[in-house]
Amino acid sequence: MPRPKLGIMSLYLNDRKTIEERTLFKRMTIAGHSLGLDVMVFTPEDIQASDAIQAQVYDIQAKCWRRVRSGFPDAILDRCRYQPTKRFKQLKAFRQQYPQLLYLNKPLANKWGIHLDFKDSNSLAKYQPATVKVSSGSEVITMLKKHSTVYLKPINGTGGRGILRVNRLSPTSFQLAGRGMDRRILRKMRLGRTGLLVKLGRIAQAGNYLAQQGIDCTLPDGRVYDFRILIQKNARGSWEWTGGAGRIGRSGSVTSNLHGGGTAASLDRLLRKCYRQSAKEQRVKEEMSALAFEAAAYLEKRYGQLCELALDIAADRSGRIWLLEVNPKPAREVFRKIGEYHTYQKAVRRPLEYALYLINRKKG
């Protein structure tokens, strides 16, 4: 009897047909082998016919990648992160052409769409920072009258690219800092109201930015931090806590992203550093967990089946938590970086276990 097969759908990064997450996919292949599940990786560009794919597989014995011609897999894990390219359009076309395939996860809306979704929920709306879609610079200036710090985020951005921070120094003086689309830290600029409006006008013209209330999450040395919580479906098809970690931005950075030079920290250790009160630390941790499960259940009602969900959460000095972002296709390297190798392995295995659950239920 043939072994069940999971297809991991990705996108090529360039014309050399480089796939971004090969290390993760190799580890998933090895874990899948021990579970009795074969793993292959493909992109929409690899479809050769209505029933054939020129896929990539990791050969465990030879320790190398090779191409194989394959039929369609029993289930598909979509790992395609948004790209403003024709390749992403090919992904959407693939899902429209093959709706009958068994997908582990449905695509979600962009940051603005998710914000509007949560705004419709009384229990989730309270966790959201004030957020507007930037259509003019004056909207940001108005927000800065109420909040001393405002973040500007690309609606479809990932990994901290293009995020800017505006600090109000006085009613007519502001500081602009952030990262370029290449994640490079930009030189801080002090601007008057007119100068800031000029900068904001260019952003508004692009039509793809959000302005979000800044939350005061800084350590005594000035570095920013937040928390990454990961929950996943398990082998029974139920949501389960996988792990949590802290992320601390590099000096001078307005973001905490690891790709931008940030460092990882144990969840409990960072909470202790922030509050130094065990009761408050435990309460914040429990509230973050409850928020994760509630958000996942809510999004599944809106969009359909999900496989895993990571939440980026800010916890301010009072212990109030804020939901900054959700990611249905999260990285899991943060757990390796803090030495939680068991959590990392669990994060790798759970989508495979969930795939087997769905495949067996379908055959049922």
- pLDDT, tens digit, for every residue of 253-288? 888 888 778 899 999 999 999 888 888 899 999 999
Tell me the average pLDDT across 113-135. Answer: 95
Distance in angstroms (rounded) separating the CA atoms of residues 233 and 240: 6
Around Cβ 192, how many Cβ atoms within 10 Å? 12
In this predicted structure, which of 6-20, 235-249, 343-357 has the lowest mean pLDDT?
A: 6-20
- How much is the pLDDT for 278? 82
Give 56-64 contacts, CB < 8 A, sequence gap 24+: 56/19, 57/29, 58/25, 58/26, 58/29, 58/30, 60/29, 60/30, 60/33
pLDDT greater than 80 at residue 146: yes
pLDDT greater than 90 at residue 79: yes
pLDDT tier, 206 (very low <50, low <70, confident <90, very high otherwise): confident
Q: Please say whether the beta carbons of 85 and 91 come within 8 A.
A: no
Percentage, residues of the chain above pLDDT 90? 73
Distance in angstroms (rounded) separating the CA atoms of residues 231 and 326: 11
pLDDT greater than 90 at residue 156: no
pLDDT greater than 80 at residue 183: no
Contacts for 330 with CB less than 8 Å, ≥ 6 apart: 228, 230, 308, 309, 310
* Residue among 222, 233, 228, 241 at smallest CA distance from 338: 228
Tell me the average pLDDT across 115-125. Answer: 95
- How much is the pLDDT for 354? 98
Percentage, residues of the chain above pLDDT 70? 99
Q: 313 forms bridges with which residues in the sheet?
A: 227, 323
pLDDT greater than 90 at residue 85: no
* Residue among 46, 85, 199 at smallest CA distance from 136: 199
Instruction: Give the start-end residues of each E strand in 12-159.
Output: 38-42, 47-49, 52-59, 64-70, 75-78, 131-133, 149-154
Question: What is the helix (H) or strand (E) element at residue 113, kind and residue range?
Answer: helix 111-119
Distances (CA, A) of 4 to 61, 193, 219, 330: 20, 61, 48, 24
pTM (two decimals): 0.93
Tell me the average pLDDT across 158-169. Answer: 86
Can you read off the two tokens belonging to residue 336? 């390796």
Distance in angstroms (rounded) separating the CA atoms of residues 19 and 197: 40
Q: Please say whether the beta carbons of 11 and 83 come within 8 A.
A: yes
Distances (CA, A) of 286 to 60, 108, 244, 292: 40, 26, 11, 10
